[in-house]
Amino acid sequence: MKTFITALVCCFTFNTVSLAQNNLSLVPASASFVIKYAGENFTKNISIKKIDSYNFIKEDFFKKLHLDKRSSLKNTGINFEQDSYQYVTIQDTCINIVSLLNINNQAQFLKLIKENYSDASEPVNKNGFSYIPVSNTTFIGWNSNMAVIVNSTYQNRKYYYDDNYGSDTGLVEIKVDTAITMEPDTTLTEEEKEAKEQEEQRIRDSIYNYKWDLWQQQQDMIAKKQQQATAEAIMQNTFTGSIKSIANEAGYQKIVEPAAHVSAWFNTESIFNQYMNYFNRGTYGVVSSITTPHYSKPDGFNSAVNVYFDKDKLRMEQKTFSANDSLNKLSLAVMNNKQSNGLIKFVNPGNIGYLSMSINTEAMANYYYPLLKSYLGNTSYMNDYADLIDVYIDLLQIMIDEKGIAELLPGNYMFVMHDMKARMVDYTDYEYDEEYNRKEVRKTKKELSPDFTFAFETNRSDFLERVAHLPLKYAEKEHFDYKQKDGYYVLTFDTGKYPINSLYFMVKDGKAIITTSKNIVDMVKNNTGFTTDDETKKEILDNNYSLQLNSTKLIEKLQTQFNTDVNKKVSDYLKQNLGDVKMESRIKDGMIQGTATMNIKGKHSNSLEFFFNIIDGVNSIVEKDRQDKEKKMN
């Protein structure tokens, strides 16, 4: 059942085209997560006919949708010529995942539903639409031109022990007399007494299990009723258009780009609260009483990822913004820093990848105080003590020395993966004889040894020098090889026991360095560095975050760890098609914006076709390997 829903949703996400109807008007402003699939942009890059031709579509999706292999996605009755949306919302104590589809052939769509849900309940007819509860949590509604799929999960299930220890739940109390009173029989032997006690315990356990089962059935009925009522209300509002749409919200309009092929928007505060609510519900009810579904304020932080399937790369544009001016200024202050030239010299030509990060640590520390106030002050139970919480957090801010933290760690960091080399390491295995006696066996295996450097700036070199010096006092006592050399410290590992031989620590000229390379240590001592190309240097200096990953080189290094033919074939295929990955982020147009790109290689018309080709190519390699193994076995 779940595989059908997944396949159905994937089908309409793969192929949608924007025409007259704008389903965004049917997405509520209370949504915490929204995905838009812009059909016009999709079909410019890949056609339905092309998608039909992929083996994994015919063998997997068609099978799950009960479609003949000679059929087409067009035969689902879904109109792939209009934009599609999915969103998440909290309503009536339920978390709901809603998918909006457009229908161009109601008969085909109903046939699709009937073939997959022959045992489902009869359709429920409402004013202007019908729906089928295909499970306790999933509901499909439709009219002549639209379908709505609602997956609803009730969040307020009561806990058995809470109710049976006196909490006021308003539920029907289940009373079973569990008292077992019998006159003591002094004529029984010890064995008979033991047997009698076991029987009495079995009866008590049976009664307990009976009460537990009744309780669970009661909770299931409550959840089922609430989930169906919520789903019905969502469908009613959708089909009648009785929705305050997110389309009119500035926090959505400002960061979601209409030209994007796919866009994902989410309210950070709401997502965080939903996660915390889910987590707290799993802690045996200990803190569940203080957490209820939380409706986020419209001026919280909103983020969006806009995806573009360009000809030579997959591009993702990310934006983060708050309509609350003070919150937005706090987030921009965090990015008020610039990477130093002194850290760029650690980026060597031909590296596997690097990550550069430049933030304002003091602003970052101050950024969390109002967020804590907002979150705790708006949480059920705690909101009655919002003034007390504000005072406590203000006291916390007074006690914490943000300037002192910023002196230690101003906010400039650099991590570089220079290289990865295979080396032999020892490990212990065990062999067993016919009588299962274990024998310890020493073996060797090939592992990748990373060659990396992590460096960061500091205004407290004196403190970090003390930290680096401290292990010398305990090295001999704790039996580890840590020594001070000429201006640096080195931790040496047992030969053949770990992938790396040594780890070097150094504090010099306002920088702390941790590296596996003695060459880096010598370079710092001699005040020299790598010659970084101008393009890389510009990307690092112009952005607060900058990441580059050489995919080809990384795959080549990982290939040394692959032992099976199928893994080697898959890695060869990926190496031929995957390009380099880049990511950067900075302040632009009064908000935090970032761009991530993955270049593509090989014979692909564009990066969307590349996506399908990669899935189909890897799937074909794995499937052929499976068939070859079956032939050998037969």
Each residue of 263-294: pLDDT tens digit?
A: 999 987 776 666 555 555 544 343 344 344 44
* Whether pTM exceeds 0.75: yes
HEC readout, 147-211: EEEEEEEECCCCCHHHHHCCCCCCCCCCCCCCCCCCCCCCCCCHHHHHHHHHHHHHHHHHHHHHH
**Burial (CB count within 10 angstroms: exposed 0-12, middle 13-18, buried 19+), residue 7:** buried
Angle among Cα 292, 296, 298 to the nearest 5 degrees reads 165
**3-state SS class at 507:** strand
**Burial (CB count within 10 angstroms: exposed 0-12, middle 13-18, buried 19+), residue 238:** buried
Q: What is the pLDDT of residue 422?
A: 86
**3-state SS class at 512:** strand
Q: pLDDT for 414-427, tens place per residue?
A: 999 999 998 888 88
Angle among Cα 243, 246, 250 to the nearest 5 degrees reads 145
> Of 179-183, 370-374, 381-385, 610-614, which has the strongest mean pLDDT?
610-614
- Write out the two tokens for 257: 């780009």
Instruction: Give the torsion sign (CA, 167, 173, 176, 181).
Output: positive
The number of angstroms, rounded, from the C-alpha of 132 to the middle of its chain's C-alpha atoms is: 31
Q: What is the pLDDT of residue 433?
A: 84
Instruction: Give the torsion sign (CA, 534, 536, 539, 543).
Output: negative
Whole-angstrom Cα distance, residue 307 to residue 314? 7
Q: What is the pLDDT of residue 67?
A: 65
Q: What is the pLDDT of residue 402?
A: 86
Whole-angstrom Cα distance, residue 291 to residue 278? 9
Q: Can you name the residues that pair with 81 across neighbouring β-strands?
A: none
Place of tokens 């205004």: 459
Instruction: Give the torsion sign (CA, 290, 295, 298, 303).
Output: positive
Q: What is the average pLDDT value for the chain, to the nearest integer? A: 84
